[in-house]
Amino acid sequence: MRDSPVSTTSVKSGLSTLEALEAEGIHILREAVATARKPVILFSGGKDSVAVLHLATKAFWPGRVPIELLHVDTGHNFDEVIAFRDATVERLGLRLKVAKVQDYIDDGRLRERPDGTRNALQTVPLLDAIADGGYDVVFGGARRDEEKARAKERVVSLRDEFGAWDPRNQRPELWNLYNTRHLPGQHVRVFPLSNWTELDVWRYIEREALELPALYYAHEREVFERDGMLLTPHPALSRRETEPLERRVVRYRTVGDASCTGAVESPAANVADVIAEVAATRITERGATRADDRASEAAMEDRKKEGYF
């Protein structure tokens, strides 16, 4: 895995890479909240959103995190992750708003996709929740190393009055100066982990002893193989006769929508094992486990232009 962009900075400042990344993330959170009318953190219970929320607890300590949380629930999320999400919110005494894709399908505002996956259906509920909540600064856990479109996007990303992202209209970011200005009706997405890698996140989880859903660690479960991915049986997935069920020892690198998120075979049963595994891999977690990103070369960028995370 590559070094993080702040490695040079950390050498000059005397901070370790993780210390520099943490300081940068806290700085981004404080700067953005200072100019926000109503900020919100996207919190799914996945490792990146756990890291962002942990940074927020440090940024605003000893006070409580002064930011609401928002999750777009596809209805196909893993039960273990939803339980972890709710337990975390209760432990920290925060307020969580949940926008449900299922509600939109039930009342006809959205239609099920032929393949049964719902990741792409999250955009409309997300934009409605941002508008209804009056949120003007939306924090997310996206990182540049995940995928090509996310590598292009700035730490502070302007979204127009329709929630859309224009890759040709991005603001320069010089040193640690961030521009969160926007017109009424617009908002900005802010990514405190933008310069982190997957390996940085796992090293931070180890250093801070952060809890995660058990899905991230090796366990035995029923899976079937499709297009090189190991999928879990789910009511939204029609398993073909040529896709036999098998019990394998697997773990998840991401814990998104179960209908398009694959597991990887792995013996990594704890954080140290996962760090060793991630350090040796040459495929990003999205490239390895997300079927929706394989739809086309520009699948993520197309979704982001429409207002996706």
E-strand stretches of the chain: 39-42, 68-73, 96-100, 137-139, 156-159, 187-190, 219-226, 229-231, 246-251, 264-265
The closest of 227, 252, 192 to 48, measured between CA atoms, is 192
Span 15-24, pLDDT tens digits: 899 999 999 9
Q: How confident is the model at residue 297 (pLDDT cuts 50, 70, 90)?
A: low
CA dihedral 38, 175, 43, 19 (to 10 degrees): -130
Predicted structure pTM score: 0.90
Span 42-61, pLDDT tens digits: 999 999 999 999 999 999 99
Q: Which two three-digit tokens encode residue 90?
A: 């209760």
Q: Find out whether 155 and 175 touch, Cβ atoms under 8 Å.
A: no
Span 118-170, pLDDT tens digits: 888 999 999 999 999 999 999 999 999 988 888 889 999 999 999 999 999 89
